[in-house]
Amino acid sequence: MKTHTLAPPAVLVGMALLAAPAIARADGFATPPGDDEVAVVRDDRFDPGPLPSRFEEEDPRSIIRLLVGPSAKFDAESAAPGLLVGADLGKGPAGVRLSAAWMNVGTDHGISQYTAELTLDFGGRSRIRPVVGAGGGYARTSSSMNDDGTLDPDDGANLGIGVVRGGIGYRLPLREADARVQLDLTGAFPAIRADNAPDVTPWAMASLTVGVGF
């Protein structure tokens, strides 16, 4: 009886065919180079971060503002130029104004006044600042009245006055600075007169000032 055997080349080909699926199942697909590292790209185009407060940039109100500017006095008889200096105190809508004004200085009819007012600022966050104030103070005339009714230009007289004021201001567009230009009209009313005070009628004072805060 004869025994048939496969030729060696046929055996090798069969073994290769049987081994190929096992190798494929074991190894799988090759991993692309660098695939184990994940790169994260962040897009910040729509994340500008915290924005500064619009109120703090556009309305840096200060606690004290010093002001100075020309003034003019008007009464029933004449008009006279002058100068006003002062300070506005307060950061909120309510505050205080202290001021001094000298008008028609160097003449027999000159007068100086020193006043304090309680004020209200209706401007809110706007650059336009309507303001009202009321208060009182002290005034001194350049001359006094002699017993015979003539004026004494060498001696002045004291007055106690009440004042009311209305004004409109504009806060200048300066970043981080509380600088303002303001136009005011103040009415002054003599309430207390010294015995030697001349006959002074109520007067109005217009002033245009520039104020800078600190």
Q: What is the pLDDT of residues 160-176, one digit of tens each?
A: 999 999 999 999 998 88
- CA 66 to CA 213: how far, in whole Å? 6
Amino acid 149: pLDDT: 82
From 33-37, 54-58, 137-141, the region with the lowest mean pLDDT: 54-58
C-alpha span between 165 and 115 (Å, rounded):
11
pLDDT level of residue 49 (50, 70, 90 thresholds): low
pLDDT of 117-160, one tens digit each? 999 999 988 999 999 999 999 999 999 999 888 888 889 999 99
Interval 80-109 mean pLDDT: 94
Find all residues with CB under 8 Å of 127, minimum gap 6, and list them.
170, 171, 173
| CA 187 to chain CA mean position, Å | 28
What pLDDT, in 10s, does the model give residues 8-18? Answer: 555 555 555 55
Q: Which residue has the tokens 């915290």?
A: 50
Q: How far apart are CA 139 and CA 49, in angstroms?
A: 57
- Using DSSP's 3-state secondary structure scheme, residue 87 falls into strand
Please name every residue paired with 121 in a beta bridge, in sequence order, or none if there are none: 131
Q: Residue type at 9?
A: P
Dist. CA 183–CA 167, nearest whole Å: 6
Hey, what domains does the chain have and what are their CATH numbers?
A: 54-213 (2.40.160.20)
Task: Give the closest residue to 62 by CA, choosing from 181, 211, 178.
Answer: 178
